[in-house]
Amino acid sequence: MTVDLPALEQTAASRAASARWSRVVRPALGLVVPVVLALGWELVVYLGYSNGRLVPPPSRVFETIVALAKSGELSRHILATLWRVGAGFALGVIAGTIMGAISGYWDFAKRLLDPTVQALRAIPSLAWVPLFVLWLGIFETSKVALIAVGVFFPIYLGVTGAILSVDRKIVEVGRVFRLSGPAMIRRILLPAVLPAYVVALRVGLGLGWMFVVAAELIGASEGLGYLLLDGQQLGKPAQILAAIVIFAILGKLTDWLIEVAAAPLLRWQDAFGARGGA
Amino acid sequence: MLALKDVGKTYPNGVHALERFSAEIAPGEIIAIIGGSGCGKSTLLRAIAGLDRATTGSVTLDNAVITSPHAEIGIIFQEPRLLPWLSVADNIGFGLADLPADARRERIAAALARVGLSDKAAAWPRELSGGQAQRVAIARALVPQPEVLLLDEPFSALDAFTRRDLQDHLLDLWADTRPTLILVTHDVDEAVVLADRVLVMRPRPGRLFEQITINLARPRDRKSELFDTFKRRVLTALDRSLDRSVRDVTDKSSAGEAMWW
């Protein structure tokens, strides 16, 4: 017993150390390369080896962000973009989920609808832009529609695939316990489909951010995409980089929101359990 | 009383899996169905469970014709088939959704204690060993207290020690409420240690070949000579069932008759 005790303490201590390692050090490792590059470039400009006009140093990008924020411009642009992504994403998710569920659940509907959806999917979504502008005008509606189209396909495919790959052996357990149709959906199908659905949502959201840029480059008077275009036309690379940085932050943040919201529902999965709070 | 009358099954692809299977099974009786591959054992069990409909004949439980899953018939599959998103306790309580929460919790706790997994109540299925998972599956099937429990090669995926352990455990649990057990197996040892009656089937198409009554007192000693005698009898029947020149015999008493023909 007296021999065991120090050994136990030691393992506890080393476990705490390894927990600290996985919580702090490992994510921090990913920051090394970008931080070194940024600081390096900052130094190069500071020492006068480059004027940093076309590739502004981080400090200048940061100044631009602060200036935009102070003037109130930044929040206006961010809100405009967030609204478009939010509306387009919501529409795409609703349509994709309903259509995907019908196609996945009902074989006849799959035969009827799936070929058309697959054919439409083969069209590069940006090809819709001129048509949407003609149909829906140059303002918000056409932008939201374009984003919704981009979001729709990964959601549709994800839902259909997830339903088709639900383990029939598990469904049979539901049959043995004589679940009604709605109970079968609520107690077996939904939880079985959920992991793949969360992945589809995240892919869809990524595409939503991609398409909002395209939509805002078409013609917008506000939004982060407008900042990009404005920066190009007026020769303000710092503003372009500022918009890019904000896109990156917002994209990562919204993706993280989905992950966090879904995590309690997916605790039973191996992968999520192992990753914990990472 | 579970009555199987001329149960037959031909699949849509033309495979004739089961032909005119008849048997009467008394409440509380333990039946083992044994036979080579393709003799329709699982087909028969699925027909009794109401998962697949027989193409001919009928399955009746206390005068109710079984055409779909029935509240009084539980089934345990070869794999545990636990729902991975439910805790062990919620898996066991899966069939008790209609019960008020208190009664449900009580029944689950009792079942967990009965299968010796009280400490795993909050665990996820993925955290269980194969034997533990199958015990949860047994508890899940037994907790609604069915009149008939069907088992489709329930221990075949487990190692020999765990298998023995679970066979004894199953008998223990059976003694609580004494449901009718119908066990499909390909393990002669398992059949003789568990069953009151062993039904030997023969393949292509699957049909009943011979019935052997195991009138050994429980608990049965796997090492006794009498146990060996019964094992040898089942093995002999199995061998003969695969020999196409031998005609069907449905009862031990009629075996001589069939051979004499």
CA gap B261, B254 in Å, rounded: 11
Task: Give the model confidence (pLDDT) of A34-91 as tens digits.
Answer: 899 989 999 998 888 888 788 888 888 899 999 989 998 889 999 999 999 999 999 9
Q: Which residues of chain A are within 8 Å of residue B81 when distances are taken between CB atoms?
A: 169-170, 172-173
Which string of DSSP letters, residue by residue, matches B21-61? EEEEE-TT-EEEEEESTTSSHHHHHHHHHTSS--SEEEEEE
Residue-range domain boundaries for chain A? 72-275
Across the interface, whether the CB atoms of A177 and B94 are under 8 A apart is answered: yes
**Where is A244: in which H helix or E strand?**
helix A237-262
Task: Give the model confidence (pLDDT) of B208-255 as tens digits.
Answer: 878 888 887 778 888 888 888 888 888 888 888 777 666 666 555 444
The pLDDT value recorded for residue A277 is 40
Task: Give the model confidence (pLDDT) of A191-245 as tens digits.
Answer: 999 989 999 999 999 999 999 998 888 777 888 999 999 998 998 899 999 999 9
Task: Give the model confidence (pLDDT) of B71-85 as tens digits.
Answer: 888 899 988 899 988
Model ipTM over 0.85: no
C-alpha distance across the termini of chain B, in Å: 33
Chain A interface test: which of B45, B83, B145 (most A C-beta within 10 Å): B83
Task: Give the model confidence (pLDDT) of B45-70 as tens digits.
Answer: 888 888 888 888 888 888 888 877 88
A194 touches chain B (CB under 8 A): yes
Across the interface, whether the CB atoms of A178 and B69 are under 8 A apart is answered: yes
Domain A72-275: top CATH class: mainly alpha
Please list, in sequence order, all residues whose beta carbon lies within 8 angstroms of the beta carbon of residue B160, skipping any fewer than 6 positions away: none
The pLDDT value recorded for residue A94 is 95
A21 touches chain B (CB under 8 A): no
Task: Give the model confidence (pLDDT) of B155-214 as tens digits.
Answer: 888 888 888 888 888 888 888 888 899 999 888 888 888 888 888 888 877 888 788 888
Which chain B residue has the Cα nearest residue A180? B69
- Average pLDDT score, chain A: 86
Which residues of B have a CB under 8 Å from any CB of A?
A: 49, 51, 68-71, 74-75, 77, 79, 81, 83-86, 94-95, 97, 124-126
The pLDDT value recorded for residue B259 is 39
Domains and CATH numbers, chain B: 2-82+149-260 (3.40.50.300)
Residue B92's nearest CA partner among B69, B116, B70, B72 is B116
Q: Provide the percentage of residues in chain A whose pLDDT is more than 90.
A: 38
Contact B182, B45 (CB under 8 A): yes
The position carrying tokens 């995240």 is A202
Q: Which residues of chain A are within 8 Å of residue B69 when distances are taken between CB atoms?
A: 175-178
* Band of residue A12 on the pLDDT scale cut at 50, 70, 90: low
